[in-house]
């Protein structure tokens, strides 16, 4: 107990000494500043001005970043709205008209010898053609409601025929629904099938070139997480 009391007294004495020394240093600083005011005040004013300018610059930079972020978000919303406006016209097509429309998009982007099957029993080759560089393109078209998802069974059927039956260099599965299930998308990625969900199709409809969409394969919207 006595040792504890001595320890407390020492701590109190140390705090008092520090306070005294701090007060003395502050007093000396005030005296020095008062005696050298003509030298100190330009430095002080410069430091305050620099701090004010730095604060203003930081505030302007933050405001610019916030405005740029809002602008990017607005542009993304407008692009999505424009795609949906175009997709509303695609949604009004029958499944036969949809296949014909996909073939027209291929021709627009420079594909050659584009043929539409337009019948059942086509073994997944709804549209067949050749890219400008000569690679064979085989497309499976699924006109589903926007809220649906393409499941693994649909993808398995196309995987089994696109290359073995039709010799596709580029196998494209395009749908009007918003997503592929994780199993379907995982299978597409493993088997090098290009999965075009509603968002990517909307970009194609709005003028994006087919060859610029092929590397995206399931990105952008639709399924949010790639397996």
For all residues of the chain together, what is the average pLDDT? 81
pTM for this model (two decimals):
0.62
CA distances from 3 to 9, 14, 17, 21, 74 (A): 10, 16, 21, 27, 70
Q: Which DSSP category does 226 fall into?
A: -
Query: Are the C-beta atoms of 148 and 131 separated by less than 8 Å?
Result: no
d(CA 75, CA 81): 10
What is the tens place of the pLDDT at every residue in 114-134? 999 866 666 779 999 999 999
Closest Cα partner for 213 from 200, 224, 225? 200
What is the tens place of the pLDDT at every residue in 136-190? 999 999 999 999 999 999 999 999 999 999 999 999 999 999 999 999 999 999 9
């Amino acid at each position: 107990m006595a040792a504890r009391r001595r320890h407390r007294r020492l701590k109190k004495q140390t705090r008092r000494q520090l306070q005294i020394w701090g007060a003395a240093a502050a007093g000396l600083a005030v005296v020095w500043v008062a005696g050298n005011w003509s030298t100190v005040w330009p430095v002080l004013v410069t430091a305050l001005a620099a701090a004010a300018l730095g604060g203003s610059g930081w505030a302007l930079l933050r405001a610019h970043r916030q405005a740029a972020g809002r602008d990017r978000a607005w542009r993304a919303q407008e692009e999505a709205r424009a795609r949906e406006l175009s997709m509303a016209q695609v949604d009004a097509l029958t499944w036969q008209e949809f296949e014909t429309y996909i073939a027209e998009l291929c021709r627009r982007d420079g594909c050659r010898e584009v043929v539409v099957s337009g019948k059942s029993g086509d073994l997944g080759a709804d549209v067949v053609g050749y890219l400008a560089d000569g690679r064979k393109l085989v497309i499976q078209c699924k006109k589903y409601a926007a809220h649906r998802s393409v499941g693994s069974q649909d993808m398995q059927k196309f995987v089994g025929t696109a290359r073995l039956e039709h010799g596709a260099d580029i196998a494209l599965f395009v749908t009007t629904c918003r997503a592929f299930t994780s199993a379907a998308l995982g299978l597409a990625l493993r088997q090098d099938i290009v999965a075009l969900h509603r968002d990517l199709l909307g970009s194609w409809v709005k003028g994006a070139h087919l060859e610029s969409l092929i590397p995206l394969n399931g990105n952008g919207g639709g399924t949010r997480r790639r397996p």
